[in-house]
Amino acid sequence: MKARKRVIQGSTYAGKTYGIIPVLIDKAAKTPNLKITIVAETIPAVKDGCVDIFKEVMQNTNRWIDDNWVGNPMQYTFVNGSRIQFKSFDSVGKAKAAGKRDILFINEANHIPYSIADALITRSKETYIDFNADQEFWAHTEILPEPNTEFLSLTYRDNEACPKETLEELLVKKSKAFHNPELEEETGLYNKDNIKSQHWANWWRVYGDGKIGTYSERQIYNYTIVESVPEGIKRLPSGMDFGQSPDPTCLVDVYLDGIDLYLDEVFVENNLMPEKIEGAERMSISDKMDEVKHPKSWMIIGDSSGRVELKDLVKNRYNARGVKKKAGSVSEGIKRMRGYNILVTKRSQNIIDGCNKWGWKVDENGKIIPEPDGHEPDTLAAARYVMLAKAMW
């Protein structure tokens, strides 16, 4: 790889870190006075990962000199004055204070906030970034569109040293995911009818095929993207969440086919007026409903606290109902939604983004707490109202 910023995405056991660290050792040994910084999410993470690999490579190639290693701070100094340091940063200020460097390696970058990564990359002449792409993050949205950036995708198939026990375990996971695991992606591996377990199919997409997935242990909703809603399946009421800027008003159509729950985003729009006023410069929610030609007789479930909005929809002949948000209704709605296989249409970008970004809380030890973290995405709230109003339909 030749570009200034080198993005390496891959599956588990693809050899990403084992490939990068020998390159850094080679650079340090050949070029005097280089400063190389290897960064991970936490000190235990960098110790158990990159430090162990670094020591293993150095010892196996007879390069290791005990006196050149300092454990606190973790740094190895080569005979020519080059040094490789291992660090973790919990604030932008500390990342900036670490100063400039020749080469930066951000390991498991999807666990590091962009603000910290950006402060480090800006102060580095050359950067390596590796990760398992359990979901899209700043490496995709911020770094890859920038100039002088290169991308490499790897899987366990690229790693000739992948242990046979690991390969066996990976294929067990694949058999849990698919009815016919021998298929390739182009021949229907990820087709809905071939998926045995949505959880394991999502896992395989990320950790087997090394692709951007929707898999995260913190993620509240696992989902599959589909081209469109199949014809002939049951249509449920549509869900609507009312918002005032910066929160948008959104409408989601919902469909059911056995245990498959289809979500299709109709609109997500800011600055809609809660009621229709003749001569007003801004469009109302009812005007927007007219614009998208939503069937007036079809039931819409909205938040009952939006009394003005619901009343105006009814006034304009829309079949709008309110669902009460009782104590614990968010948890109850999440529980009901998670009881289905969630399939999201390709055009529903706000639903996809919401599923990717909304997750459970974690404690200071990184343990997941089954409590939603932050504001519920508006499109997901709209779908949840439909689940909570099951008695109505």
Domains parsed from the chain with CATH numbers:
5-158 (3.40.50.300), 164-215 (no CATH), 234-392 (3.30.420.280)
0.95 cut: is pTM over it?
no
Reading across the β-sheet that carries 35-39, which strands appear in turn? 69-71, 74-77, 83-87, 35-39, 101-106, 124-131, 5-10, 149-154
CB-count burial class (<10 Å; 0-12, 13-18, 19+) for 76: buried
Tens digit of each residue's pLDDT (9 = 90 or more) over 100-159: 999 999 999 988 989 999 999 999 999 999 999 887 889 998 999 999 999 999 999 999
Mean pLDDT for 342-353 is 92
210 φ, ψ to 5°?
70, 25
**Cα angle: 83, vertex 1, 79; to 5 degrees:** 20
70 φ, ψ to 5°?
-120, 125
Q: Which residue has the higher pLDDT, 45 or 197?
A: 45
Give the pLDDT of residue 368: 80
How much is the mean pLDDT over the chain?
Answer: 93
Hey, what amino acid is at 214? T
Hey, what amino acid is at 319? N
The answer to whether 263 touches 343, Cβ cutoff 8 Å, is: yes
Q: How far is CA 363 from CA 46, 52, 360, in A?
A: 20, 26, 10
Greatest Cα-to-Cα distance within the chain, rounded to the nearest angstrom: 82
CB crowding 283-314: b at 16 or more within 10 Å, else e: ebbbebbeeeebeeeebbbbbeebeebbebbe
Q: Closest by alpha carbon to 110, among 35, 207, 25, 34?
A: 207
Hey, what amino acid is at 241? D
Give the pLDDT of residue 370: 86
Tens digit of each residue's pLDDT (9 = 90 or more) over 41-87: 999 999 999 999 999 999 999 999 999 999 999 999 999 999 999 99
**For residues 210 and 46, what is the distance between their CA atoms, to the nearest angstrom?**
22
Judge whether residue 39 has pLDDT over 80. Answer: yes
Token representation of residue 159: 């790693």
- Residue 123: CB atoms within 10 A of its CB come to 15
Q: How far is CA 276 from CA 269, 303, 314, in A?
A: 16, 18, 11
The answer to whether 150 touches 127, Cβ cutoff 8 Å, is: no
Provide the pLDDT confidence category of residue 364 given band limits of 50, 70 and 90. low
